[in-house]
Amino acid sequence: MVPVFDEDLCNGCRKCSVVDVCPMDAAKVVDGVLNIDEDICNNCGRCIGKCHFDAIEEGKPGYKITIGGRWGKKTNKGLAISKIFKDEEEVMSAIEKMILIYREQGITGERLADTIERIGFENIEAQLLSDEILERKQEILDVKLHLTGGATC
């Protein structure tokens, strides 16, 4: 669950019940207002309803993405990315990153599940959680290598 934080209701308490309950140390009171580091927050939802001033009354459902699942002769169960994606835009961005990773790092004829297995789930996950691959998007699309085959399926 993605916590919905209303900054206007936050009093910047010295002892914040959200900070106290957060298992990830994602929540900190900075300059008199709660700050949740979205890169650290794992959306466990434990902080929802914990603020006595109703600054986090609700959570909204997010999207879980699994990668590397495949069907057919050789089946494979997809592995879940640790982050919960908070909206469609984030989901689409993750899909775009996955396509770019596959195009750049896949080997001719290799299925995506095998690419993930070869490179390692942790490596792929780290790339999906960073924006570095998007910064190289044009560079990756300009490489003609895969236009003659390769990880195009």
Tell me: does residue 51 bind ligand SF4 (CB under 6 A).
yes
What's the first-to-final CA gap in the chain, in angstroms?
34
Tell me: does residue 35 bind ligand SF4 (CB under 6 A).
no
Question: Which segment (7-15, 81-89, 100-108, 125-133) binds ligand SF4 by CB under 6 A?
Answer: 7-15
Among 4, 8, 16, 148, binds ligand SF4 (CB under 6 A): 16
Please, which residues have CB within 8 angstroms of residue 108's CB and are 6 or more apart in sequence? 146, 149, 150, 151
Cα–Cα distance for residue pair 13/24, rounded to 1 Å: 19
Among 35, 45, 76, 117, binds ligand SF4 (CB under 6 A): 45
Phi, psi of 2 (to 5 degrees): -90, 120
Among 28, 30, 31, 41, binds ligand SF4 (CB under 6 A): 41
